Structure 1
Amino acid sequence: MPGNGARRLIRMFHLISAVIEREKDRLSELDGAIGDADHGITMSIGFLAVNGALARLDLDRTMPADVLSVAATAFLNAVGASTGPLYATAFKRAAQALADREEETLGLAGQAAMLGAIASGIRDRGKGERGDKTMLDVWIPAAEAAADAAARGDPEAAAWAKILQTAQAGADATRTMVATRGRAARVGPRSLGHMDPGAASAVCILGAMRDAFCEG
């Protein structure tokens, strides 16, 4: 039966969109140093489209996996750049990870499964790895931290504190890397010293997820 999990995910996407709107200028500035200076705008368009699509759902009939499937389609339809297929695949994988779960309130185990699916979806679609100076330098360690916390049975607040600490460290580490994937790879060594904008936006997304799950 549909439950609170779908509502938590819808609130999560509202919070993601809000933080991206607040940070979109900074994200585009980061992108300007090594890319096309449009990352913040692209992410804003994508998550506004997601929330528009989610607003049409009947929450009394919606499961958590349905929310993520709708988000995947909406993001892909709105964002034609490389980020679109990456996050669309991520949300589609997350939907698949939650499809067989019976926990409707999305406890830490479900949250960890979702983060793991997002990370693997981005990795598989982009053919990248940790260390390539991309959003994977945030998503992979964040997913690992979530899995470890779930295995230990940590409280959600403590788990998410560690997830965000790990995510921020991953984003900061991209300053020391030379880009080998995406548009940033075109500038080669000149990407050194700059934070990857996709990593920065991933930290924003994870922060919103923490707020949705720990305060919602």
Structure 2
Amino acid sequence: MIDKFTDWLRDSAKVLHENAAYLTELDSAIGDADHGANMDRGFAAVVAVLDETSFDSVDELLKKAGMTLVSKVGGASGPLYGTFFLRFGTALAGLSLTPESIGTGLRAGVDGVLARGKAELGDKTMYDAWAPALDAYDAAVAGSGDLGAALKAAAEASAKGRDATVPLEARKGRASYLGERSVGHQDPGATSTTLLLESAARTLA
């Protein structure tokens, strides 16, 4: 399973690199215009670590990815995504990797994001993509117990949550300074969250 999680991180880095300009374009409308560059740089650093380090467990791999993102990425995205992977890995320590335990890890990671970012549903942040994704994942696991189906459901729900940020007025982060002018723009963090979950659906199943 380590190989699959490694594939996820590598694929995420590829996708974020391909979408870096798009993410920065989204962020230029309501943020610091650096989200794409920051995510690209951070995941390139993660891939560099993967190239030179071997890991004995998935939790070690994810925690190292998280620490790398925290140390290499500026802005809000580094600490938030870094915390996600750190908490995800910590939650998996000592557990057998099952759809249920992976779901527990995902939720722990997002709880870490919430603890740092203090966002709520509807604030026009990455949480608007994460929240429906987690619910869809848990429902799919309860229904079929299949990891692939659960990740696909999570990615699809995340995309709907991402799209639902467009009409929202931002209440957190740099975008909140714009008030009503933030309406009509897709949230960059919700967009990168969806890219990561789509990557997970391709690689982890």
How far apart are 1:118 and its partner, in Å?
2.0
Q: Which runs of 4+ in 1 moved over 6 A?
A: none
1:1-216 matches, within 5 Å, as: 5-59=1-55, 62-103=56-97, 107-214=98-205
How far apart are 1:7 and its partner, in Å?
1.5
- The one-character-per-residue Cα deviations of 1:39-94 (angstroms, maximum 9, x if unpaired) are 100100111111111222224xx100000110011111111211111111111110
In structure 2, distance between residues paired with 1:119 and 1:140: 8
Q: CA RMSD in A?
A: 1.3
In structure 1, distance between residues paired with 2:65 and 2:152: 26
Q: Name the SS for the 2:52 alignment partner.
A: coil
Instruction: Write the letter of the residue equivalent to 1:11.
Output: D
How far apart are 1:161 and its partner, in Å?
2.6
The range that moved more, 150-159 or 68-77, is: 150-159
In structure 2, distance between residues paired with 1:38 and 1:99: 33
- The one-character-per-residue Cα deviations of 1:132-171 (angstroms, maximum 9, x if unpaired) are 1000001121112112222223423322232122111100
Instruction: Write the letter of the residue equivalent to 2:7.
Output: R
- Structure 1: unaligned runs, 5 residues or longer: none
How far apart are 1:185 and its partner, in Å?
0.8
In structure 2, distance between residues paired with 1:6 and 1:191: 40
In structure 1, distance between residues paired with 2:2 and 2:108: 17
Aligned length: 205
How far apart are 1:117 and its partner, in Å?
1.7
How far apart are 1:36 and its partner, in Å?
1.6
How far apart are 1:96 and its partner, in Å?
1.3
Q: Name the SS for the 2:165 alignment partner.
A: helix
TM (normalized to structure 2)? Answer: 0.95
In structure 1, distance between residues paired with 2:54 and 2:61: 10
- Structure 2: unaligned runs, 5 residues or longer: none
Q: Would the aligned equivalents of 1:174 and 1:196 in 2 still touch at CA under 8 Å?
A: yes
How far apart are 1:181 and its partner, in Å?
0.6
Q: Would the aligned equivalents of 1:138 and 1:168 in 2 still touch at CA under 8 Å?
A: yes
Aligned residues with identical type, % of pairs: 36
Instruction: Write the letter of the residue equivalent to 1:68.
Output: L
Instruction: Write the letter of the residue equivalent to 1:136.
Output: Y
Q: Name the SS for the 1:67 alignment partner.
A: helix
Instruction: Write the letter of the residue equivalent to 2:122.
Output: G
Q: Would the aligned equivalents of 1:133 and 1:181 in 2 still touch at CA under 8 Å?
A: yes
In structure 1, distance between residues paired with 2:64 and 2:49: 7
TM (normalized to structure 1)? Answer: 0.90
